[in-house]
């Protein structure tokens, strides 16, 4: 009887020996598990799984046979075969009248090393006639992390050719958020271990929420895999997870099963491609994005105490609840107990009851797309403050998705007991005009409101009040606003709303002093004899715009406060106007640095530069000022996608290592520069300690007698250590810089060797001055090498630029010139390869300097 190890080895050999036969005879079957879009409940994508089913009835999953193929470096055979199976499946699906959605194929990183996978995949897609956008490539986090630079090139090539690339099992421990900065993906698949925390670990839920929020912020879709319960599905939809996958919905099935389910009417249903963008927008709204500000002593278990928020889909006859958070459901149960928690609200059935005014405002927002902040009165007299906003319009059905946020409930009006007459007169201050309208013949009397004296005076009489296209209609409006008002501001609608709600109110815009201005038309029935109504035209432009500005500022403050709460590394965050350089400072860490920058100002760059000598460590000031100019910041963002500068910031006179990062974002059509300063003091110091321990000299024999730096023997020992780290795959980032002192032979021949020794020391001083945090080695008479690491490595490009400028200046004034070349480690097999590139660059530099 074979041991377990022997049986495993025999099975692995079976897979290797029979892979070609298995492919040729189609022993390997493709099964398809759908991804369910949270916003639509329909299948938005699928993922293909490979299963080996040989004629003897043996059944093997991919986890059993793929590792054997990887060892033999033949996974590309399986991967290309699965691509062909998926394309064939799509054709079969189309023949049965089913929508085709994108499907992902899991690829091994070894396939890219042993085959031109990009070329082969594109060749198969194009030959099939299926659009490239319908096939997605799925790569595990482990596969990417094994060789980030090489895999970045493959990912970029696929995406440039129209094939989407997904990052699978994100958060499984092989990489970090920095991977997302380096490589652009189209979708993140959140690892199942995070999904398993839902309902069990609140801290785990917070981390999961932030993973999804981060992905959304950088433009990535998200998929939660391994969804097994309704609780998990509901929570993921609330926090804005775009798509869900797991046995809660369905296990992987074959094409035949897909067709059979469709025939029997039990299919989940595939998305219409024309509705994808609409559902994508609705699904990405995070129902926890508008959280209440927390007190300083709030704990993490209050994290999800958010504003009540829901999303409704509004069509021509009904409102359908698409998504809502827990706070909204509790709010509705507390304040509207008569409402049953139904999914659909028919317009005709929504009779006069509390909330009708707000409900009509939601319908209006769905029609015109204008965001509304309004107050509504509850049955007990409290004032309800709502934010209503249209998110998207379905291009197929014409339905609109509208979000509703309960900002607050105010009971101060109920408690105050103010005099009614005073309130009525005081409210006239903001009115443009008031009208008393006879509803029997549409004649009206117009009154002018005297806001200064809080009085009302007669102006004129008129006819046909509801005809806003009459000649004497005195308000200038844009054609679009007038057309929209004409549709809703009808006598019939006014009568209907007054009967149901007791008030009619609508917002529109009129042109005042050539400026479009928000106004509110509010109508109430006049009690007493006759059929009269009172109409007030109220200028609410300032209030609405102020609320919008306050709301935006509040949202920004909450966002930056959360960033600071989630990471102790944030010191400051600045928002800067790229055109005017005006700025605002956010201080989530409550840190007071010696830079002393005001909370806001008109010249961000000027203020920082002016205060740099006081706030930045003296050794770093020149280096910082060389890099930190407005022109240079925007140039780096344009060329590299991000500006970054490492320096030491002084806090109470104590320097700490920080990194400044800046990038542009677009908000409401306007660019804004976001600048963050992060505390990396502990990391830099640990890196330095590690570097010093790793490369410390083991004996005096490692010191060069003339210069006092490390000698060639020490360099050889260090190279051997680095090669071992490279071989183990645990090498940290480093670079090799090679230097050659120009003119040493001439000094020795004309001034003697003592002068030559001093010449060498002078060259050493220059090199050590630029590389303060890295070991310097003398490996020949006039040759030096620096193993660049830590803080120096982070700034290597800037350091080499400064060396070149220094050489040019010295060349012109006849001082010492040191030719230099540098190369970064990029997954090379040994240090020698990195050295060769640096040495070649040094000799190129040497020739260039001699030509000057």
CATH number where 460 lies: 3.30.450
634 compared with 684, residue with greater pLDDT: 634
Is residue 575 domain-resident?
yes
Is residue 277 domain-resident?
yes
Is residue 500 domain-resident?
yes
Judgement on whether residues 708 and 634 belong to the same structural domain of the protein? no
Task: Please tell me the predicted confidence (pLDDT) of residue 832.
Answer: 93
Q: Which of 142-146, 197-201, 702-706, 834-838 has the lowest mean pLDDT?
A: 142-146
Domain that holds residue 673: 567-679
Per-residue pLDDT of 710-719, as tens digits, reads 998 899 999 9
**Most confident of the ranges 3-7, 155-159, 292-296:** 155-159
CA 341 to CA 584: how far, in whole Å? Answer: 44
99 membership: H or E segment, kind and range: none
| Rounded mean pLDDT, 410-424 | 45
Task: Please tell me the predicted confidence (pLDDT) of residue 567.
Answer: 47
* Tokens of residue 140, six digits: 């595990």
- Give the closest residue to 83 by CA, choosing from 125, 53, 41: 125
Is residue 760 domain-resident?
yes
Report the CATH number at residue 237. 3.20.20.450
* Tokens of residue 348, six digits: 């005709």
Contacts of 465 (CB under 8 A, 6+ apart): 435, 437, 442, 443, 444, 535
DSSP state for residue 42 in the 8-state scheme:
S
Per-residue pLDDT of 224-246, as tens digits, reads 999 999 999 989 988 888 899 99
Strands 818-824 and 532-539, sheet pairing: unpaired
Q: Is the pLDDT of residue 287 over 50?
A: yes
pLDDT band at 604 (very low <50, low <70, confident <90, very high): very high
- At residue 261's C-alpha, the angle toward residues 258 and 266, to 5°, is 135
pLDDT band at 571 (very low <50, low <70, confident <90, very high): confident
Judgement on whether residues 710 and 812 belong to the same structural domain of the protein? yes
Is residue 292 domain-resident?
no
Q: Which of 33-42, 291-300, 778-787 has the lowest mean pLDDT?
A: 291-300
Beta carbons of 566 and 572 less than 8 angstroms apart:
no
Judgement on whether residues 321 and 426 belong to the same structural domain of the protein? no
Angle between helices 148-160 and 117-128 (to 10 degrees): 20
- With 0-12 / 13-18 / 19 or more C-beta atoms within 10 angstroms meaning exposed / middle / buried, residue 101 is buried
Judgement on whether residues 623 and 699 belong to the same structural domain of the protein? no
Q: How many helices (H) and strands (E) does the chain have?
A: 30, 31
* Tokens of residue 287, six digits: 């129902």
CA 75 to CA 682: how far, in whole Å? Answer: 43
* Tokens of residue 29, six digits: 């079957």
* Tokens of residue 806, six digits: 């220094």
Task: Please tell me the predicted confidence (pLDDT) of residue 636.
Answer: 92
Judgement on whether residues 60 and 94 belong to the same structural domain of the protein? yes
Is residue 238 domain-resident?
yes
Number of neighbouring beta carbons within 10 Å of residue 4: 7
DSSP bridge pairs for 387: 373, 405
pLDDT band at 458 (very low <50, low <70, confident <90, very high): low
**pTM metric for this prediction:** 0.48
Q: Is the pLDDT of residue 297 over 60?
A: no
Beta carbons of 451 and 431 less than 8 angstroms apart:
yes
Beta carbons of 825 and 733 less than 8 angstroms apart:
yes
Q: Is the pLDDT of residue 179 over 70?
A: yes
3-state secondary structure of 720: helix
Judgement on whether residues 638 and 712 belong to the same structural domain of the protein? no
pLDDT band at 838 (very low <50, low <70, confident <90, very high): very high
CA 490 to CA 509: how far, in whole Å? Answer: 17
Task: Please tell me the predicted confidence (pLDDT) of residue 562.
Answer: 46
Question: How high is the mean pLDDT of the chain?
Answer: 84
pLDDT > 70 fraction of the chain, expressed in percent and rounded? 87
CA 9 to CA 4: how far, in whole Å? Answer: 9
Phi, psi of 445 (to 5 degrees): -115, 130
Judgement on whether residues 151 and 192 belong to the same structural domain of the protein? yes
Judgement on whether residues 585 and 673 belong to the same structural domain of the protein? yes
Judgement on whether residues 727 and 621 belong to the same structural domain of the protein? no
561 compared with 617, residue with greater pLDDT: 617
Cα–Cα distances in angstroms (integers) from residue 187 to residues 46, 167, 228, 233, 385, in the given order: 13, 6, 21, 18, 37
CA 100 to CA 113: how far, in whole Å? Answer: 31
Cα–Cα distances in angstroms (integers) from residue 463 to residues 439, 440, 468, 536, in the given order: 11, 12, 11, 17
Task: Please tell me the predicted confidence (pLDDT) of residue 553.
Answer: 54
Is residue 320 domain-resident?
yes
How many structural domains compose the chain?
5
Task: Please tell me the predicted confidence (pLDDT) of residue 469.
Answer: 86
pLDDT band at 278 (very low <50, low <70, confident <90, very high): confident
pLDDT band at 453 (very low <50, low <70, confident <90, very high): very low
Is residue 533 domain-resident?
yes
| Rounded mean pLDDT, 421-441 | 66
Q: Is the pLDDT of residue 299 over 60?
A: no
Number of neighbouring beta carbons within 10 Å of residue 320: 15
290 compared with 586, residue with greater pLDDT: 586
Task: Please tell me the predicted confidence (pLDDT) of residue 536.
Answer: 84
Task: Please tell me the predicted confidence (pLDDT) of residue 414.
Answer: 45
139 compared with 324, residue with greater pLDDT: 139
Report the CATH number at residue 771. 3.30.70.270
Q: Is the pLDDT of residue 842 over 50?
A: yes
Task: Please tell me the predicted confidence (pLDDT) of residue 1.
Answer: 57
pLDDT band at 617 (very low <50, low <70, confident <90, very high): very high
Starting at the edge strand that comes first in sequence, how are the strands of the sheet with 455-462 ordered?
A: 455-462, 444-450, 431-438, 532-539, 515-525, 503-512
| Rounded mean pLDDT, 772-779 | 92
User: Would you list the DSSP string of 518-550?
Assistant: EEEEEEEEPPSSSSEEEEEEEE-HHHHHHHHHH
- At residue 723's C-alpha, the angle toward residues 718 and 726, to 5°, is 130
Strands 735-741 and 818-824, sheet pairing: antiparallel
Per-residue pLDDT of 310-349, as tens digits, reads 899 999 889 998 888 878 888 888 877 766 677 888 887 7
Task: Please tell me the predicted confidence (pLDDT) of residue 844.
Answer: 93
Judgement on whether residues 45 and 158 belong to the same structural domain of the protein? yes
Judgement on whether residues 400 and 465 belong to the same structural domain of the protein? no
Beta carbons of 31 and 252 less than 8 angstroms apart:
yes
Q: Is the pLDDT of residue 575 over 80?
A: yes
CA 634 to CA 581: how far, in whole Å? Answer: 12
Judgement on whether residues 402 and 425 belong to the same structural domain of the protein? no
CA 208 to CA 214: how far, in whole Å? Answer: 10
Q: Is the pLDDT of residue 457 over 60?
A: no
| Rounded mean pLDDT, 596-612 | 91
CA 50 to CA 63: how far, in whole Å? Answer: 9
- At residue 321's C-alpha, the angle toward residues 319 and 324, to 5°, is 145
Cα–Cα distances in angstroms (integers) from residue 576 to residues 579, 584, 608, in the given order: 9, 7, 12
Per-residue pLDDT of 102-112, as tens digits, reads 999 999 988 99
């Amino acid at each position: 009887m074979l041991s377990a190890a022997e049986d495993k080895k025999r099975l692995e050999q079976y897979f290797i020996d029979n892979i070609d036969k298995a492919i040729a005879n189609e022993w390997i079957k493709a099964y398809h598990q759908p991804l369910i879009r949270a916003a639509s409940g329909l299948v938005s994508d699928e993922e293909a799984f490979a299963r080996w089913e040989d004629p003897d009835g043996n059944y093997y999953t991919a986890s059993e046979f793929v590792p054997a193929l990887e060892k033999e470096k033949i996974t590309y055979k399986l991967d290309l075969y699965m691509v062909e199976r998926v394309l064939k499946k799509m054709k079969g699906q189309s023949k049965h009248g089913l929508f085709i959605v994108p499907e992902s194929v899991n690829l091994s990183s070894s396939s890219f090393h042993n085959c031109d996978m990009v070329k082969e995949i594109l060749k198969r897609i194009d030959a099939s006639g299926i659009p490239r956008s319908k096939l997605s490539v799925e790569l595990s986090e482990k596969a990417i992390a094994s060789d980030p630079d090489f895999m970045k090139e493959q990912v970029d090539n696929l995406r440039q050719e129209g094939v989407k690339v997904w990052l699978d099992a994100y958060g499984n421990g092989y990489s970090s958020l920095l991977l997302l900065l380096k490589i652009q993906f189209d979708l993140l698949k959140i690892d199942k271990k995070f999904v398993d925390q839902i309902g069990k670990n609140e801290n785990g839920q917070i981390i999961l929420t932030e993973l999804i929020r981060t992905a959304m912020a950088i433009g990535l879709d998200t998929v939660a895999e391994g969804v097994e319960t309704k609780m998990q599905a509901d929570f993921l939809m609330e926090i804005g997870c775009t798509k869900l996958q797991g046995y809660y919905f369905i296990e992987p099935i074959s094409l035949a099963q897909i067709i059979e389910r469709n025939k029997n009417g039990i299919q989940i249903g595939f998305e219409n491609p024309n509705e994808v963008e609409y559902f994508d927008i609705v699904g990405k709204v995070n129902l926890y994005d508008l959280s209440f500000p927390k007190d300083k002593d709030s704990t993490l278990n209050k994290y999800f105490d958010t504003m009540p928020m829901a999303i409704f889909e509004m069509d021509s006859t009904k409102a359908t609840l698409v998504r809502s958070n827990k706070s909204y459901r509790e709010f509705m149960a507390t304040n509207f107990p008569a409402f049953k928690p139904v999914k659909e609200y028919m317009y005709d059935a929504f009779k006069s009851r509390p909330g009708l005014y707000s409900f009509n405002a939601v319908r209006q927002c769905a029609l015109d797309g204008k965001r509304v902040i309004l107050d509504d009165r509850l049955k007990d007299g409290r004032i309800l403050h709502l934010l209503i906003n249209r998110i998207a319009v379905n291009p197929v059905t014409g339905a609109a998705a509208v979000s509703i946020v309960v900002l607050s409930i105010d009971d101060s009006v109920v408690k105050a007991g103010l005099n009614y007459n005073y309130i009525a007169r005081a409210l006239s201050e903001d009115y443009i005009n008031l009208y008393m309208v006879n509803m029997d013949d549409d004649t009206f009397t117009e009154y002018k409101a005297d806001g200064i004296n809080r009085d009302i005076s007669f102006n004129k009489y008129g006819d046909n009040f509801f005809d806003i296209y009459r000649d004497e209609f005195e308000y200038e409006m844009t054609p679009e606003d007038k057309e929209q008002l004409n549709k809703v501001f009808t006598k019939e609608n006014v009568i209907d709303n007054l009967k149901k709600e007791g008030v009619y109110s609508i917002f529109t815009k009129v042109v005042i002093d050539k400026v479009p201005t928000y106004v509110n038309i509010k109508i109430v029935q006049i009690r007493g004899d006759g059929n009269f109504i009172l109409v007030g035209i109220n200028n609410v432009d300032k209030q609405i715009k102020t609320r919008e500005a306050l709301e935006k500022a509040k949202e920004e403050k909450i966002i930056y406060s959360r960033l600071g709460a989630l990471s102790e590394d944030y010191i400051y965050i600045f928002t800067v106007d790229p055109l005017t350089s005006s700025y605002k400072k956010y201080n989530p860490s409550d840190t007071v640095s010696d830079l002393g920058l005001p909370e806001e100002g008109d010249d961000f760059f000027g203020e920082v530069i002016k205060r740099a000598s006081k706030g930045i460590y003296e050794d770093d000031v020149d280096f910082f000022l060389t890099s930190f100019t407005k022109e240079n910041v925007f140039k780096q963002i344009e060329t590299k996608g991000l500006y970054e500068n490492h320096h030491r910031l002084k806090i109470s006179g104590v320097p700490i290592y920080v990194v400044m990062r800046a990038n542009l974002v677009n908000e409401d059509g306007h660019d804004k520069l976001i600048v963050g300063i992060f505390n990396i003091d502990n990391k830099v110091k640990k890196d330095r300690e590690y570097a010093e321990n790793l490369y410390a000299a083991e004996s005096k024999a490692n010191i060069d007698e003339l210069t006092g730096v490390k000698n060639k023997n020490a360099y050889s020992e260090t190279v051997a250590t680095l090669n071992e780290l490279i071989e183990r795959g645990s090498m940290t980032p480093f670079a090799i810089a090679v230097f050659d002192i120009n003119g040493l032979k001439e000094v020795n021949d004309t001034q003697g060797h003592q002068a030559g020794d001093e010449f060498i020391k002078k060259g050493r001083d220059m090199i050590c001055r630029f590389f303060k945090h890295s070991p310097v080695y003398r490996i020949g008479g006039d040759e030096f090498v620096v193993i660049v690491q830590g803080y120096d490595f982070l700034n290597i490009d800037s350091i080499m630029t400064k060396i070149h400028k220094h050489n040019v200046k010295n060349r012109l004034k006849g001082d010492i010139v040191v030719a230099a070349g540098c190369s970064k480690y990029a997954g090379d097999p040994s240090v020698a390869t990195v050295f060769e590139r640096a040495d070649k660059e040094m000799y190129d530099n040497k020739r260039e300097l001699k030509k000057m």
